[in-house]
Amino acid sequence: MKLRVGYELVYECLNATPMMLMLNTHHSRAADVLVPDLLQTDPPVPVRQYRDGFGNLCSRLVAPPGRITLSALGVMDVPEQMEAHPEADFERPVEELPDDTLVFLLGSRYCETDLLSNLAWQMFGHLRPGRARVQAICDFVHHHIGFSYGNARPTRTAWEAYQERSGVCRDYAHLAVTLCRAMNIPARYCSGYISDVGLPPPYAPMDFCAWFEAYLGDSWQTFDPRNNAPRIGRVLMARGRDAADTAISNNFGSTQLIKFEVVCEPEASLAFDHAIAEERLARVG
């Protein structure tokens, strides 16, 4: 299935403002890209890219004073079936975990493992290790937190989400990640696109979404405590310890977000691919 993904973000900058952006699909999905989601800026400014310590593609630019529009529109080839889980679902003892997973056992900016460790073991310590235990954590978080855009704030931590019982998808992910880490299960925060394909209406306005991956067996496996069900068209953008590592933008100056639109929907027209490709070539030319 062809899935088009993209965004249009408009910022108002008081002065020339350096920006660090994380707005591209993840390199692990490179084989699925039919039309690349190239970052476009209006007005045009130089953009330099690099990969951070977690392998995420980051873009650097300096926005001029006034308004700047950041946009992209790409096409991905995604399975038409709901996500399936790998068979391996056992937990590895800490001493047997690969070195590169250990950082995802530690507390981080939004994931206070020290504050939630006792609670985690009281609630989930008696359960069978593996996918069943991680899913039990997701079930708990899904029912414990009430989804609320109106009550969202960027500073809410996992401990605060647990206490306040309210938040958005990042709060669900932070709390589940923290409970997993407290149980010695490596867990990493993920952000990207999730489509509504296969779901009944009504549909909420599209947004970037958060979920997490837990290390079970010999692989990272996807879990989604906010939706708590398999989805069609999940497209990864970035991974990290928590939302601080995957922010779509870090702006080093006074800015205001004027417009925020996200696209993640099926593309039925074959002509769309050619139109996007021609547009990209025209801009490069």
Write a three-state SS string for 151-168.
CCCCCCCHHHHHHHCEEC
Q: How far apart are CA 226 and CA 211, in angstroms?
A: 7
What are the tens digits of pLDDT across the range 240-249? 999 999 999 9
From 144, 158, 155, 163, select the one nearest 114 (Cα to Cα): 158
pLDDT of residue 283: 54
Q: How far apart are CA 260 and CA 7, in angstroms?
A: 7
pLDDT of residue 267: 85
pLDDT bin (cut points 50, 70, 90) of residue 282 is low
Radius of gyration of the chain (CA): 19
pLDDT bin (cut points 50, 70, 90) of residue 275 is low
The Cα angle at residue 211 between residues 171 and 92, in degrees rounded to 5 = 110
CB 22 within 8 A of CB 237: yes
From 183, 185, 177, select the one nearest 161 (Cα to Cα): 177
Residue 285 has pLDDT above 50, yes or no: no
SS3 for the chain is CEEEEEEEEEEEECCCEEEEECCCCCHHHHHHEEECCCCEEECCCCCEEEECCCCCEEEEEEECCEEEEEEEEEEEECCCCCCCCCCCCCCCCHHHCCHHHHHHHCCECCECHHHHHHHHHHHHCCCCCCHHHHHHHHHHHHHHCEECCCCCCCCCCHHHHHHHCEECHHHHHHHHHHHHHHCCCCEEEEEEEECCCCCCCCCCCCCCEEEEEEEECCEEEEECCCCCCCCCCEEEEEEECCHHHCCCEEECCCEEEEEEEEEEEECCCCHHHHHHHHHHHHHHC
Q: How far apart are CA 139 and CA 96, in angstroms?
A: 27
pLDDT of residue 271: 45
pLDDT bin (cut points 50, 70, 90) of residue 278 is low
Global pTM value: 0.91
Q: What CATH number does the domain located at 94-232 have? A: 3.10.620.30
pLDDT bin (cut points 50, 70, 90) of residue 185 is very high
Range 2-78+247-284 classified under CATH 3.30.365.10: no
What are the tens digits of pLDDT across the range 198-232? 888 878 789 999 999 999 999 999 999 999 999 99
From 246, 282, 261, 283, select the one nearest 21 (Cα to Cα): 246
CB 151 within 8 A of CB 96: no
Assigned token pair, 69? 């529009």
pLDDT bin (cut points 50, 70, 90) of residue 279 is low
What are the tens digits of pLDDT across the range 23-76? 999 999 999 999 999 999 999 999 999 999 999 999 999 999 999 999 999 999
What are the tens digits of pLDDT across the range 77-135? 999 999 988 877 899 999 999 999 999 999 999 999 999 999 999 999 999 999 999 99
Q: How far apart are CA 238 and CA 3, in angstroms?
A: 18
Matching CATH topology for 2-78+247-284 and 94-232? no
What is the rounded average pLDDT of the residues 12-21? 98
Q: How far apart are CA 115 and CA 106, in angstroms?
A: 12
Domain ranges of the chain: 2-78+247-284, 94-232
pLDDT bin (cut points 50, 70, 90) of residue 137 is very high
Q: How far apart are CA 142 and CA 136, in angstroms?
A: 10
